[in-house]
Amino acid sequence: MNRLSDRLKGAKLTPQQRRIADYFFKNQERIGNMSSMDVAKEIGVSDASIIRFARAIGYLGFTDLKNDIYNSLIGETSASVRNMQLSERFDVLTGRYQEDDISGAFVEMMNYNITRTFQQNSLESYETLADMIIRSRRKYVAGLRGCIGVSCHFTRLLGFAIEGVVQLPGSSETEVLGALQDIDSEDIFILFSFARYYKIDMLLVNMAREHKARICVVTDSLMAPMVQYADIALLVETSHMSFFNSAIGVDMIAEYIITLVCRKNKDEYRKRAKERDTMTEGFRLVL
C-alpha cells in the first residue's frame, strides 16, 4: 500500500476522511470485491463521501483508487514470488490457488497480465520504441533462459517489417557476447529479461552502452538492474500460478510494437512482404 501511503502523507483530510482512510488500510484485501456503496455502508458514510475521499488524495474516483490498491497487492505478491527458488514458487502458488476453480482463476490472471502490462506503460513509450527501431540501422534482440521464446518470436516477426534485425544466439554466454560486439551508435539493443536476473544480462547491456547504442529493456520490474542504463524500459506483468513467468503480457507488447513498426514503415513492409511471398511461393501446399 506504499502508493496510497504516499498520497495520504501530504493530503489535508477531514476527520471523516481520516476515518475512511483508516478503513481502507485495514480492509485492503477486501476492497477489490466491493463497490463504493458497499464501503460507504460499512463505514457509515455516504457514497459521495467515498468518491470525495478518493479525489482528495489524487485519484479520479473510487474505481481508480480500488484498482491501485489491487495492483499494489499484486505487485507485492509478484515481487516476493520472483525472488523464490523454482520449487518454492510452485509450492507457494499451488497453495494460493485452489483446485475448485483453477481454470477461472487462470483466465482471470491472464486477463490481468494483459491489461496491467498495457496500462503500466504509456502509449508514448510504445510509439517511442517503434520510432527508435525504425531509425536504427541494426536491431539486435536478445532474450536468454525463459525469454528465448519471446525474443525469437519478436525477431522473426520484426524481420518481416524492417531490415537489419539480428537475433543474438542464446546457446552460450560467449557466443551472445561475441554476436553483440559490432553494435554501434546507429543501432539499438532490445533485451527481454525477467527475474531471476543473471550477470550476462548486465554484461550485454554494458557492452551496448559502451558502444553508444540505444538500449531498450523489456522486464518485469523497475528494480531490474539493467533498467538504470536503458534509454527506454517497458514493464511486463508476469504473474502466474505455477513456477514460471507468464509470457502472455510480453507477447502482447512484442506484437503491439511490431504492429506500430509496420504502420509507421508501410512502404518497406509492403516491399519485404511481397518479396517474401515470391520467395516462399514454391514451398506452399495448395489445399
**Tally of domains within the chain:** 2
**CATH number of the domain within which 212 lies:** 3.40.50.10490
More confident residue, 140 or 286: 140
Task: Among 57, 75, 93, give the residue marking a domain's end.
Answer: 75
Same structural domain for residues 165 and 242? yes
Same domain for 267 and 157?
yes
pLDDT exceeds 90 at position 255: yes
Residue 6: give its domain's CATH number.
1.10.10.10
Domain check: are 165 and 222 in the same one?
A: yes
In degrees, rounded to 5, the angle at the alpha carbon of residue 149 between the alpha carbons of residues 147 and 155 is: 100
Tell me if 108 is assigned to some domain.
no
pTM of model > 0.85: no
Mean pLDDT value of segment 216-234: 88
Residue 82 belongs to a domain: no
pLDDT confidence of residue 195? 78
Domain identity same for 57 and 143: no
Do 145 and 66 have their domain in common? no
Q: Is residue 113 part of a domain?
A: no
User: Do β-strands 188-193 and 232-235 pair in parallel, antiparallel, or remain unpaired?
Assistant: unpaired
- Residue 1 pLDDT > 60: no
Please check whether residues 230 and 143 belong to one and the same domain: yes
Same domain? 246 vs 150: yes
More confident residue, 10 or 117: 117
Do 36 and 147 reside in the same domain of the chain? no
CA distances from 186 to 180, 181, 212, 229, 266 (A): 13, 14, 8, 17, 22
Query: Are 152 and 233 contained in the same domain?
Result: yes
Domain C-terminal end among 75, 105, 131: 75
What's the confidence (pLDDT) of residue 164? 96
CA dist 111 → 115, 215, 248 (Å): 6, 29, 9
pLDDT exceeds cutoff 50 at 43: yes
pLDDT of 80: 54
Residue 116, domain member (yes or no):
no
The domain boundary residue, chosen from 37, 54, 75: 75
Say yes or no to pLDDT of 127 above 60: yes
Sign of the alpha-carbon torsion through 90, 153, 222, 111: negative
φ, ψ of residue 188 to 5 degrees: the values are -130, 140
H/E stretch holding 191 reads strand 188-193
Q: Give the separation between CA 191 and CA 236, rounded to whole angstroms.
A: 13
71 and 138 inside one domain: no
Distances, alpha carbon 142 to alpha carbons 90, 179, 239, in Å: 27, 10, 22
> What local confidence, expressed as pLDDT, does residue 19 receive?
87
> Which cell is 120 given?
503500466
**Mean pLDDT lowest for which of 63-67, 81-85, 115-119, 237-241?**
81-85
Q: What is the pLDDT of residue 101?
A: 67
What are the two backbone dihedrals, phi and then psi, of residue 44, each rounded to the nearest 5 degrees? 90, 35
In a domain, 112, yes or no: no
Residue 158 lies in a domain: yes
Among 20-24, 32-36, 117-121, 197-201, name the most confident range: 197-201
Residues in contact with 227: Cβ distance below 8 Å, sequence separation at least 6, in sequence order: 217, 219, 221, 233
> How far is CA 75 from its chain centroid?
12
**pLDDT tens, residue by residue, 152-183:** 999 999 999 999 999 998 777 888 899 999 99
Amino acid at 120: Q
Write down the pLDDT at residue 180.
Answer: 94
Give the end-to-end CA distance of the chain in Å, rounded to a whole number.
57
User: Which amino acid belongs to residue 249?
Assistant: G
Q: Where are the alpha helices (DSSP H) in 167-224?
A: 173-179, 199-210
Both 38 and 149 in one domain: the answer is no
Which has the closest alpha carbon to 191: 176, 180, 205?
Answer: 205
The predicted structure's pLDDT at residue 129: 97
Q: pLDDT tens digits for 14-23?
A: 889 888 988 8
Which domain, by its residues, includes 268?
Answer: 123-278
Average pLDDT of the chain? 84
Confidence bin at 205 (pLDDT 50/70/90): very high
**Cβ proximity of 187 and 213 under 8 Å:** yes
Question: Does 58 fall in a domain?
Answer: yes
Q: Is residue 64 part of a domain?
A: yes
Query: Which letter, b or e, does each residue of 146-169 get, where b requires 16 or more Cβ atoms within 10 Å of its Cβ?
Result: bbbebbebbbebbbebbeebbbbe
Residue 5's pLDDT is what?
A: 65
The residue-averaged pLDDT of 37-65 equals: 89
Q: Which positions ≥6 away from 259 have C-beta within 8 Å?
A: none
- Same domain for 71 and 128, yes or no, is no
